[in-house]
Chain A
Amino acid sequence: MTIFDWLDRLAFLRGEPAAWLAALTAVVIVVAPDLRLALLALAGQYLAAVLLFVDMLDPRLAVVKLLVGWFVCLILYLTGRQTNWGRAPEDLTAAEAAAWQTPKWVRLGRYRLPWWALRAGLAGFTLLLAWWLARQPTVYLPLTPENLAHLNLAVYALLALGLLQMALADQPLAAGMGAFLFLTGFTLFYSNLDQSLVGLALLAAVNLAVALAVSYLAQAKRLRLAAHSAIE
């Protein structure tokens, strides 16, 4: 099986379905209560993004992007395993563990909302906003050919949901996934403008370096938990 055979098999996903798949996986990353589910969605999002990249890049180069993305997922997966997916150590008391956990409820004036519902609401609103923006001729992505109009949805959704995830997440790994959404969204737009090999290689290096930095921060946060536990 060659790359081209695989692309033929996935032809039904090319174009608009891939843009929706990228946007929906981004929503899953924002809403997912468990980092493992979010990481799975990130891996799926890289696959969807590659189906969009092949419309602009040589398929062999687009597959390199997929490999880099999945390598990022691998780095995050190993870090997640080492840091127990951001959960507090088991030897903390219930009160101490509660201080490290994301609050389950959010108070909005007189009302109390479940945190996941607020996230889902914000993610849904952001997706709708991206979809609406993508249909506006006044904010059509500059220099994007008309036959690639679906890129508008993917780019706006990934950029906006990436920013939302970076703002909402309290764990380095989760926030890092927001950074990767943002980077993928921008790369989808930029690949249409600049297709130089050096730029492509450096963008791959940037993704891997950011993954390492995110992993480092996740480990540091875990160390903080361990240190806190040891002091107690």
Chain B
Amino acid sequence: MLDSGPFLLIVGPLAGAAVVALVVALANALGRWLPGQWDRARLTGGAGAVLAAGLWLLLTQAAQAEWVVYGRALVLDETGRSLFLGILLLLALLYGLTAVWPAESGFVTASLAAVAPLAAMVMIRPFTLGALFLVLAAAALTMAMQSGRTNYTGAAWLYLVVTILALPFFLLAGWLAEAPAAFPWGAARLLAAAAILVLGGFPFVMWVRPAAGAMAVLLRPFLFGAVQLAVLAFLFNWLLARPAWVADPGFQSWLRWSGGITALLGGLLAATSRDWRELPASLLLLNLGLGILTLLLPGTLGWETAVSVLAARSLSLLLVGVGGLLLGSQPPVGDLAGRSRRVGGLLWAYGCLSLLGLPLTLGFDGQWALFSALPAAGGGTSGVALIGLLLAGIAGGLWGLGRVVWAGAALGEGAEARS
């Protein structure tokens, strides 16, 4: 069975999460005899990194692409395999980093377990059942968001709630796809509503900034990058099978305005942001809007653009997170004492610019592809208005970033003058 990709992706992460939990429990039991540096948090991160890397290696060797369970097929095509190879590699990297910053390691077990339902969501046929796996993944991710955090539980709860609220829309869209019937909304519109809910689009953005602020910084690249990419893969599975849905005017206009307003809102919130620690969450909101808009693009172009935007988002959030950890409580500019803090400031600023998708950053490729393809995706005047919204959002984000950097620099000069 180990050469079956679907089997490996369903059973592997769950078994891996159990192994990490056992290793930690064993370390707790043997705590007295272990050397001082073998603390529980580092062990968790290290075990998680080894297991994620091991799963990645096994997945590269997997030959079988189909697994039938109780009459339902789990199909791992080349796109799915590449997606989960990328996700496992990202997890191995993130878990490895928790060995350096052990306080961040709380999310390891639950996030590794979440890979199994995410994989099932992408692989299961018919697609409708994937929505139920998405809620299972959300339950595990809720625990990952809250792990190691004994503060505000509202953000993790809101994330779970929006996923639960999306479930009826997904299931009804799937049912309507199989058995067309008179229904107040068409299947395409139901799918658009579900997509807006799970991708954090306007008006359901309330969980994004609190969640980004409250969770472990090393979890952000996974939750807002890799998990959202898996959700987009699930959505594109439907859209590639039913191209007419993409052309539905309701689907187009709902996603267009939701994505555009989300990006604009992110830009406006960034422009009014006064704290450098809060700024990335607003820039992330802006970037979430771009992710939603990729669903408007037809066929494989949409999926390729989504991969480009979301992969860049993951890496940008990773840079922002690592930069923030290196900086500690110091702002990213001004009087940065020590090499690691200077590097941290640079990584943080580059990550923020990359979330904005400016030229010479990681985010530029995807953003350029999206901007080039959006006018051709239809909409006429509203297409132009959409580009205007996006540019206004990016300008707001840039203004906010500039203001935070300027304020930090002024603070640094003040401190230098005082000394």
Contacts and interface: CB of A to CB of B under 8 A. Distances in A.
Interface of A: 142-143, 166, 172, 175, 179, 182-183, 186, 190, 193-194, 197-199, 202-203, 205-206, 209-210, 212-213, 216-217, 220-221, 223-224, 226-227
Given A183-B164, A193-B175, A198-B70, A217 B153 contact: yes
B132 to A, nearest CB: 4
A216 B164 contact: no
Nearest to B120: A202
B132 A194 contact: no
Contacts of A209: 135-136, 139-140
Interface of B: 70-72, 129, 132-133, 135-136, 138-140, 142-143, 146, 149-151, 153, 156-157, 160-161, 164-165, 167-168, 171-172, 175, 179, 181-184
14 contacts: A142-B182, A142-B184, A183-B167, A190-B172, A193-B175, A194-B171, A197-B70, A198-B71, A206-B136, A206-B139, A213-B160, A224-B151, A224-B153, A227-B150
Contacts of B179: 193
Nearest to A162: B164
A55 to B, nearest CB: 19
B129 A216 contact: no
A186 B168 contact: yes
A194 B135 contact: no
A112 to B, nearest CB: 26
Nearest to B156: A217
A175 to B, nearest CB: 6
Contacts, number: 83
B139 A210 contact: yes
A130 B136 CA distance: 29
A212 to B, nearest CB: 6
B183 A216 contact: no
A28 B67 CA distance: 46
B164 A179 contact: yes
A206 B184 CA distance: 26
B150 A199 contact: no
B182 A172 contact: no
Contact of A190 (B135, B156, B164, B168): B168
Given A216-B143, A217-B146, 13 more contacts: A143-B181, A190-B172, A193-B179, A198-B70, A199-B132, A202-B132, A205-B132, A205-B136, A212-B139, A212-B143, A216-B146, A224-B150, A226-B150
Nearest to B151: A224
A219 to B, nearest CB: 9
Contacts of B171: 186, 190, 194
